[in-house]
Amino acid sequence: MTQRKGYTTASIHTKLPKNDAYNALHMPVYDGVAYEFESSQDIEDAFMGKKMAHAYSRTSNPTVEYFEKKLQSVSGAQGVVALSSGMAAISNALMALVESGANIVSSNHLFGHSYALLKTTLDHWGIEVRFVDMGNVDEVKAAIDDKTRVLFFETITNPQLELVDIKKLADIAHQKQIAVVVDSTLTPPYVFNSVEFGVDVEVMSTTKFISGGAAAVGGAIVDNGTFDWSKVPALSNWTEKFKENAFTARVRKEIFRHLGACMTAHTAHFLNLGLDILALRVDRCVENCVALGEYFVAHENITSVSYPGLKSDPGYALSVKQFSGKPGGVMTIDLASKESCYKFMDALNIVRRATNLNDNKTLIIHPWSTIYSEFCDEEKIEMGIRDTMLRVSVGIEEVADLIADFESALAGI
Ligand SMILES: *Cc1c(COP(=O)(O)O)cnc(C)c1O
State the Cα–Cα distance between residues 4 and 23, nearest whole angstrom.
Answer: 27
Q: What angle do CA 211, 9, 322 make, to 5 degrees?
A: 70
Q: Does 16-267 match 278-410 in CATH topology?
A: no
From the CA of 154, give the closest atom in ligand 1: 13
Confidence at 100, pLDDT banded by 50, 70, 90: very high
pLDDT at 4: 76
From the CA of 88, give the closest atom in ligand 1: 9
Give the residue whose CA is nearest to atom 7 of ligand 1.
Answer: 86
Confidence at 78, pLDDT banded by 50, 70, 90: very high
Of 330, 305, 307, which Cα lies nearest the Cα of 319? 307
pLDDT at 70: 97
Give the residue whose CA is nearest to atom 2 of ligand 1.
Answer: 205
The fold of 278-410 is: Aspartate Aminotransferase, domain 1 (3.90.1150)
Give the residue whose CA is nearest to atom 5 of ligand 1.
Answer: 86
Contact 230, 295 (CB under 8 A): no
Is the pLDDT assigned to residue 364 strictly greater than 90? yes
Is the pLDDT assigned to residue 176 strictly greater than 70? yes
Confidence at 212, pLDDT banded by 50, 70, 90: confident
Asked if residue 111 has its Cβ within 6 Å of ligand 1, the reply is yes
Q: What is the mean pLDDT of residues 264-275?
A: 97
Per-domain boundaries in the chain: 16-267, 278-410
* Of residues 3 and 246, more confidently modeled: 246
Name the residue of 121, 158, 181, 393 whose CB sits within 8 Å of the most ligand 1 atoms, as the mutation to test its pocket: 158
**Range with lowest mean pLDDT among 17-26, 184-193, 195-204, 253-262:** 17-26
Q: What is the mean pLDDT of residues 372-385?
A: 92
Lay out the sheet containing 363-365: strands in order across: 304-306, 330-334, 389-393, 363-365, 352-353
Of 87, 97, 82, which Cα lies nearest the Cα of 220? 82
Asked if residue 205 has its Cβ within 6 Å of ligand 1, the reply is yes
- Residue 28 Cα to ligand 1 midpoint, Å, equals 27
Asked if residue 85 has its Cβ within 6 Å of ligand 1, the reply is yes
How would you label 9-45 residue by residue, b for 16+ Cβ within 10 Å and e otherwise? ebbeebebeeeeeeeeeebebbeeeebebeeeeebee
Of 153, 159, 121, 155, which Cα lies nearest the Cα of 140? 153
At 157, the amino acid letter reads T
Q: What is the mean pLDDT of residues 35-43?
A: 95
Q: Give kind and range of the element (H or E) at residue 392.
A: strand 389-393
Asked if residue 63 has its Cβ within 6 Å of ligand 1, the reply is no
Q: Which CATH class is domain 16-267?
A: alpha beta
pTM here is 0.96
Residue 154: count other Cβ atoms within 10 Å of its Cβ. 24
State the Cα–Cα distance between residues 244 and 226, nearest whole angstrom.
Answer: 8
Is the pLDDT assigned to residue 48 strictly greater than 80? yes
